[in-house]
Structure 1
Amino acid sequence: MKADNLKNFIDKMAQENERKMNAEKRKKHFQEIGRKGGLRKKSEQQLSKVISFRLTDVEYEESQKKAQEFNLKLSAYSRMVHLQKELKVNEFETDKTLLNYGNNFVRITNLLRNREWNMFQNKKRILKEIQEVIDLIRKYLYSKMDERNKQ
């Protein structure tokens, strides 16, 4: 009888210990993924410091207009200007423009390969130069992507 009671007691303690360990694992799992149902906590530093400064009405309106141009809030735009990152906002516009130019050069190349354009004597040289420009645009855009991925 005592052996059965001792065995039951040991089994209950093992089950309780296992429940505690499972609860602790679950708690750590949810701490890891964050509070919002699966969203991970941000690994980058949170914005915690405040800098305030005064502007005239004209300066404020200009800043507001520029922030709207870039589809940013005024605080984000001001932070970028303060940290001298304003040029990085314009970078994407340059990339879009280059990508459009590259697409247009490809279209021009396809048109020149058509039979109707055989009258050009220097057609091969033009196609070669267009291909070089397309390659340069691609190299530039891919190098920018690699730089962004490294950061």
Structure 2
Amino acid sequence: MEKDFLQEFINQATKENEAKIARENRKKYFQDLGRKGGLKTKENKKMDKVISIRMTNAEYDILVQNQEKYPLKLSTYIRNVLLEKELKINEFQTDEVLLQYGMYFKKITNLLRNREWNVFENKKEILLRIENLIELIHQYLYSKTQKNE
């Protein structure tokens, strides 16, 4: 009888110990997963090569004048020009303006739908034209993003 009790006690203790170890391993797994973070980080290409060049003051002034058109550092501008990358910095400013226009047109349609604006006889026509304009803006912006992909 004592052997059965002792054997049962040992079996129960080992099961509890295994369950405890399994809980700890699970906890450690999720801790490690949390440390790794959710999203993959982009590979950062290190720029470890340095090139120095000599130029005249006139050449430098021309370079600085061309660089001032874009909100870039001089080294970034030179790298983009050297590698023949397109400088489309101002392109996104027009997109932001179009998005703001679309937002304002939506606010105008919400105002026109209000009961107080029933004085307009052609309110439905105005709303229809504004909605068409908003749709055109969205189509233009989405077509640009699809071209870039």
TM-score normalised over the length of structure 1: 0.55
Q: Which residue of 2 aligns with 1:129?
A: 129
Q: Per-residue deviation at 1:40?
A: 6.3
Q: Which residue of 2 aligns with 1:112?
A: 112
CA distance in 1, matches of 2:102, 2:69: 29
CA distance in 1, matches of 2:48, 2:133: 42
What secondary structure is seen at the aligned counterpart in 2 of 1:133? helix
CA distance in 2, matches of 1:119, 1:95: 34
CA distance in 2, matches of 1:39, 1:119: 56
- Kept after mapping to 1: 8 A contact 2:80/2:86: yes
- Alignment partner of 1:66 out of 60, 64, 69: 69
- Kept after mapping to 2: 8 A contact 1:98/1:137: yes
CA distance in 1, matches of 2:41, 2:92: 28
Between the two structures, name the one with larger relative contact order (CA 8 Å, sep ≥ 6): 2
- Select the structure of larger CA radius of gyration: 2
Q: Which residue of 1 aligns with 2:92?
A: 92
Cα separation, partners in 2 of 1:103 and 1:51, compared to 1, 3 Å: farther
Q: Which residue of 2 aligns with 1:146?
A: 146
Identity over aligned residues, as a percent? 44
Cα separation, partners in 2 of 1:111 and 1:74, compared to 1, 3 Å: same
Q: Which residue of 2 aligns with 1:32?
A: none
Aligned AA (2:109): T
Please provide the CA RMSD for this pair: 3.2
CA distance in 2, matches of 1:52, 1:140: 43
Q: Per-residue deviation at 1:146?
A: 2.0
- Kept after mapping to 2: 8 A contact 1:63/1:74: no
CA distance in 1, matches of 2:89, 2:54: 23
What are the ranges of 5 or more consecutive residues in structure 2 without an aligned counterpart?
1-39
Aligned AA (2:137): I
Q: Per-residue deviation at 1:77?
A: 2.1
CA distance in 2, matches of 1:106, 1:39: 37
Q: Per-residue deviation at 1:80?
A: 3.8
TM-score normalised over the length of structure 2: 0.56
Q: Which residue of 2 aligns with 1:5?
A: none
Q: Per-residue deviation at 1:122?
A: 1.1
Stretches of 4+ aligned residues off by more than 3 angstroms: 38-42, 50-55, 78-82
- Kept after mapping to 2: 8 A contact 1:102/1:137: yes
